[in-house]
Amino acid sequence: MPQGVNTVMGATTALDYDAQLMLRVKDGDGASFGLLLDKHRSPVVHFLYRIVQDFAIAEELGQEVFLRVYRSRATYEPTARFTTWLFRIATHLALNWLRDGRNERGQERLDEDREGAPTLQVSDSKPSVEQNLVYEVKLQEVRRAILGLPEKQRVAVLMHKYEEMEYSQIAMVLRCSESAVKSLLFRAYETLRARLAHMA
């Protein structure tokens, strides 16, 4: 086992497998980077897509995320879960892209059928055409409501609901306290409840 992994594993047995892989990347193991890329590329791109609403941009930003991960290998330290560190990089890039004004008409793209965009997996319960249409309309309304939230609230909701991240992880990604995360989510869900009350 590479020296970096031995050192940290001696200090803690709670180190997650992804962090172990990243420490191997730090020690020069390119195959471990390939494993991380295979495992996390799709979730990261889907997360980015939910923020930027453009699949081509999400793919491009996803490549930049992993490029930054690789470039940071020499200084990597497992002070948090690997996924927390990874999503911090992804969130930073996505918010920078939004703030740079490159998301023209971003909210209007939400309703368009975009070729190559990720599709939602639904259960195989054979719903009727009418049920599918009602579901799609409701889904679009929920997406519009989420996109209408302030940036930090939107990202917090995406991480909490879609990525099922804990408050502590979201706090580390957004570089704020857990209480600040709870406050962000409370305000976001209150806003969403008000905007989607007609669907109840």
- Does residue 116 lie within any of the structural domains? no
Same domain? 6 vs 92? yes
pTM of the predicted model as reported, rounded to 2 decimal places: 0.70
Total residues belonging to the chain: 200
- Does residue 113 lie within any of the structural domains? no
Q: Which range among 9-13, 90-94, 154-158 shows the weakest confidence by mean pLDDT?
A: 9-13
Helix (H, G, I), strand (E, B) or coil at 196: coil
With tokens 């940071």, the residue in question is 72
Q: How many domains does the chain have?
A: 2
pLDDT score of 155? 92
pLDDT of residue 110 exceeding 60: no
pLDDT of residue 109 exceeding 80: no
**Which residue did the predictor score with more confidence, 153 or 115?**
153
Q: How confident is the model at residue 127 (pLDDT cuts 50, 70, 90)?
A: low
pLDDT of residue 3 exceeding 60: no
pLDDT of residue 107 exceeding 70: no
Q: Quick one: average pLDDT of 105-121?
A: 42
- Does residue 69 lie within any of the structural domains? yes
**Which residue did the predictor score with more confidence, 87 or 143?**
87
Same domain? 22 vs 84? yes
Domain range for 155 is: 124-200
pLDDT in tens, 145-166: 888 899 999 999 999 988 889 9
| CA–CA separation, 174 and 93 (whole Å) | 12
pLDDT score of 79? 87
**Which residue did the predictor score with more confidence, 113 or 158?**
158
pLDDT score of 126? 59
For the chain, how many helices (H) and strands (E)?
A: 9, 0
Q: How confident is the model at residue 43 (pLDDT cuts 50, 70, 90)?
A: very high
Same domain? 24 vs 92? yes
- Does residue 114 lie within any of the structural domains? no
pLDDT of residue 57 exceeding 90: yes
Same domain? 2 vs 35? yes
Tokens of 60: 């491009």
The CATH number assigned to the domain holding 148 equals: 1.10.10.10
